[in-house]
Structure 1
Amino acid sequence: MPRSLDTHGRPGQNLPIAPFDAHAASAHVREQGADHAPSLVEQVAKVPTDPGCYLWKDSSGEVIYVGKAKNLRARLRQYVTLTDDRAKIPLMMQLVASFDYLVVGTEHEALVLERELIAQYHPYFNVDYKDDKSYPYIAITRGDVFPAIKYTREKHRPGTRYYGPYTDSRAARETIDTLRKVTPVCSATCAEWKRVQRLLAKQPDDADVIELICANQGRPCFDYHVGRGPGVCAGMISREEYAKNIRRVERFLSGQRRELVNDLKADMAEAAAELDFERAGRIKRRLEVVNGLDDRQQVVFPTSVDLDLIGFYREETIAGACVFVVREGRVQRTCEFILDKGFDIDEVELTAGFVKRYYDETSDIPSEVNVAVDLADAEVIGEWLTAKRGRVCRMHRPQRGEKHRLLETAERNARHALMRYMMRTGYSDDRTNQALLQLESALALDAPPLRIECFDISTLHGAFTVASMVVFTNGKPDKSQYRRFKIRAELDEANDFASMSEVLGRRYAPERMADERFGSRPDLLVVDGGRPQLTAAIRQLEELGLDIPVCGLAKADEEVFVPWDDTPIVLPSGSASLYLIKQVRDESHRFAITFHRELRGKAMTASILDEIPGIGPKRKRAIMRHFGSMKRLRAASVEDISAVDTVNMKLAREIYEALHAFSRESSNEDATYSQQM
């Protein structure tokens, strides 16, 4: 069994670890950092090549990341040499001062140990629940002589089996209420059940005759009288019969309702055969409760499958997760979670982290777990889930069919869950305020940039060149202030420098600055591009005699160029400030390219009919009057076009071919433009 170890590699008490086989899970820890400590690279070179877990620590000794590896040395070397291409690694390694590692026997044991360590330390760079609350579970106290059912948020205890988590506490309570109508079992909140437990604690040797003791000394509780309690408190049920009820409850919670229905039907038939019609009537009412539940469930699969589908929706530093629990081919419940990581880590790591956390805390494991990405350690996770379940469980990525459709539905529900959370908690407003303060500090502004204006140029080899101006007020898009410009300069090729100079000269000309329709003076001017675009903006502002803070944002490496330093500023990955300035830049790009395509499309489609032999002004007016718009004309068939007066079949075919040739050419130009951008 691995033991907790202190900072000198001695046994300690501060690291509770799940027990493993003594031979397969011998653990060794090396604490880095003596008076003449070698570098991290040198320390990693001495790490063994066995499977195990590693803990990265900061200068204060706090664990900031926990991971597992099949080969510890090779995995740690990827970190210290920065060959791990995940976006968070450079930032994390700047904070790392030391590391620990623990060696175990197999990769499966490393996975279990990783979950134990993450649960203990809650490292910042690992995926965790955002709201950090305890979710409700339905628990069966299997360690008791007469196990009871309860609704709980407690940390998992040995001897108790937990089902969930439920993100809707009302649904969990209603499930317990329904269960006790179907199969009477004791509730852990029942005073009489607690009395029986105290009696057993005082007289453990009397467990075999507890029914007789209760029959002589106890009295039925209220739940017994209304059909939800089995009468343990008054010796009305044997331990064997009660154990049968508990097994039914566990099968119900595991989604095996069909088996429960068959048992109840057999009991009802047996009671009717014995002419015990009162008991048969009670069982019939229980069957009606179960069938009523099935009527409310949506059948999603023609076969009786047990699986979970997990969908995610990510924002910059936060994500929503939705689990569809499908049992016997029906969606029995959905669970929604908010995670504290988003685009700041890759989708594979986010998915793997959530899967490990979720199934570490539940006993309800299906035969198949469906996610939208291929996990690197899917096989190991499958082995771990199989061991927990006692039967085969595998990871799967559906790419078509009903599973894929339902997984997309789970992703949509994850998005709605995240939006509700952000609205409920004011997360967006807090993050926006944080972003503005970070930009003020990073760009050396006099005040937070409450009004940000951003410009972008869109062109295709110098033709149909346009510019966009988008405005963010208090960190939010202010679309009433958006403006777009046609570049007037005659350009033989794309020239962002000249185009940017022109649009800034027009926007910040004295007459425009005095025009209320253009709003107030910006607190920050952002140009889409690197040093050339920034230089053009600075020169134009100097010519106008304006002192407006300005920066450029390059798309390649998300670097921010500023006038006072040749070295670009790199805002922290995942920071609120980087997210905001990228949002401003992307919105300006979207607005510019939309106008560019609209302008180009109008110019080309307006003249396409004029270029077709045989179409003069009269026929052109007749065609446009018949279809109403170029969009409807392009969607028309040859037969539809020939229905226009004065247009014969031959001319209709020529019009059709010309329009579709133009559409293909336009699509190719759009692809070329996107590649250039």
Structure 2
Amino acid sequence: MADPNSYRPAPGEIPTRPGVYRFRDQHGRVIYVGKAKNLRSRLSSYFANPAGLTPKTHAMVHTAASVEWTVVGSELEALQLEFTWIKEYNPRFNIVFRDDKSYPYLAVTMGEKYPRAQVMRGERRKDTKYFGPFYPAKAIRETLDTLLRVFPVRTCSAGVFRRAEASGRPCLLGYIDKCSAPCVGRISPEDHRELAAELCRFMGGEGTRFIRELEKQMAAAAAEMEYEQAARLRDDIAALRRVFERNAVVLAENTDADVFAVHEDELEAAVQVFYVRGGRIRGQRGWVVEKVEDFTQAEFIEHMLLQVYGEAQGDDKVPREVLIPTLPENHEHLASWLSGLRGSAVDVRVPVRGEKAALMDTVRENAEQALRLHKSRRAGDLSVRSAALQELQEALGIPVPLLRIECYDVSHVQGTNVVASMVVVEDGLPKKSDYRKFSITGDAARDDTASMYDVITRRFRRYLEDQEHTAPAISGEIGEETKATRRFAYPPALVVVDGGPPQVAAAMRALGDLGIDDVYVVGLAKRLEEVWLPDDEFPVILPRASDALYLMQRIRDEAHRFAITFHRKKRSASMISSVLDDIAGLGPAKRTALLKHFGSLKKLKAAGAEDLVQVPGIGTAMAAVLLDAFAADAADTDRAPAINMTTGEVLD
């Protein structure tokens, strides 16, 4: 670990103006981003008495090797720049409001010719309206199923839609009147789009208006003695009211607000938010985060709002009111920033009395329960991970903490379609964003050791290249923005290869040829689960029940799974290509289209003429040629002799 005094700036070098600062580790990776009204005062607090820092901050300043800062004109500019850098660098020591699940939203794809309503998770897409989040997922699925009775918009995938369009027959939902069937022309594109817009308006808070209009239509139908129509409208009204009943009325009908509450201890904080739209609770979300600095609750809430709304834009994502338990010092700046995102005024305040204060108490109770549950679940997991990493470090005699471990595995079938995988574990947990796949060709594919040498060489050559292109950290008042650390510029403390001494020797030779001598390498052999160190005649045998061995096995199995998945995908693509290569008139573009559409050779061979013509560029004549080629290939396979795989003898 670094000594903070080794990179401490001189007091006179640090300005007293507002700004944003970054701590970097010895590899140039940004590990923490913060902002301050007075840079000199804030940065001096990190170096004055390191022993008095919180555990997380103490670890941060001893992991860092340099600090730099940028002066800005105002606190609002500092707020925005801090968020930009946290988003860009993803510093490991910053508070990041992530939970363990992706919450479901009701999404309507208004950017498509025929908008589609669906339950969607993950990243938001352009030209799509979102409503939610909802919890549990079953609630929004039931809500959508009910709404389709009144707003029968399309819910099918693009593939199902195209098949129905080609066949002229709608899907089941079209037959039971839960889809207006635009695929077969029962409704025009314009009318279907208006139907989707009405669904969005209903979900956006105009539900009462829709119910009143339907009640008027029902009364008019009854007066005209059109009793069947009146009965249908009655059932539609009942369906919309059921949707309302699923969301408790807690505030006035015109209230759109996000209600936040926080419960914290010395190390962690739990955040809960209730989404209130049209006076009803539409969804709930929660985070549990580790505290880095000794923030006051007001400072913590400022960081929370910055990240929660950092990429939100529009009145469907930023409500009219943001209710919080404590006002930050710069709440006027926050309100101005949120108003700019929404496009109209946003009120940031603390509810003191009445229904909103009562709802805040309910949200706070949820935050308390969330932190209690999180600690009970994490206590065992966190201690086991820490013990496993420490046990492994001691067993292997490695002098540095195993903060990052990379594992490599090679996969092939009799030397064909050779691939390799790299999986990454940080602090004992998989970091899937850093996983990598390698295709291996030429002489490097002749055996496992050559493949391992090739993969390690390629990975760490990129590491050296990225180190050269990453600008060094320099403390200063104002300077140009340095480039973000590249993807491969952060090396592991330990490299694990799947195999024994040959694979370990190949990895060490690759590192030696690149001049890298500060990365430790071990191999994990499958046969007896021995751990092989470089140049050691005998392996390290970890106890069968040890957490260290279990951690090694999990990493190795994950690398094997990742490599096998890539290998199967590559092999499937090559098998399809080999069958299609000899078909006259089938060029590369059409082969690619077939591969993308069907995904596997088995599905392609099972397709009929009506399925093949759905692929762009494949007409009826080419579909007939393909079917003839598949039939001939199947006949050749049937005539092929059977072989005993043990003796090699051809069987009758």
Q: TM-score by structure 1 length?
A: 0.48
**Radius of gyration: which is bigger?**
1
Higher relative contact order (CA 8 A, sep 6+): 2
Q: TM-score by structure 2 length?
A: 0.50
